[in-house]
Amino acid sequence: SQRLGPERVRWMAPVTSHLPERRVEPLPALHHAAAEVAARWGATVLAKGTPSLVCAPDGAWAVDVQGSSDLAAAGMGDVLAGVAGAGLAQGLDPFRAAGLALHDCGRAHRRVGLGVSLVPSDLIESLPHVLRLPPPSSPLGLPFVTLDLPAPW
């Protein structure tokens, strides 16, 4: 199989939960598909959806639930890719860059709080404020939980 190197591959999961008929990707199916692509191509995969997750070629994966289907608007993936690219440019490995991009864009979305009227420029304007905030805490001391255990399904 062809290796793409350390580049991040963006893969979009269908997200339409803001519509009357809610459709959310089940986590086991989303994880399986993203992990398969990551392993096959030797690249980190960011699966944007509800929830969103990042899968590394070595099997590590992280789930982020801060975002919502409001982030499925046109141009939001470009913002996400830009934030991840900025992390890569600063020396983060692709898994961390993608995970932090998801996390920071989700925090920016929550700060703006516009719901379905959210547009990419709202997120871009909110990101500098979010990046200056102290990271949220968790019982584990992490901004989001990294799951690197074998999946039970």
Average pLDDT along the chain: 75
Beta bridge pairs of residue 46? 10, 54
Tens-digit pLDDT profile for residues 109-130: 888 888 888 899 999 999 999 8
pTM to 2 decimals? 0.72
Q: Which residues contact 123 (CB under 8 A, 6 or more apart)?
A: 71, 76, 79, 105, 108, 109, 112
Tens-digit pLDDT profile for residues 46-82: 888 777 889 999 988 888 877 777 777 888 889 999 9
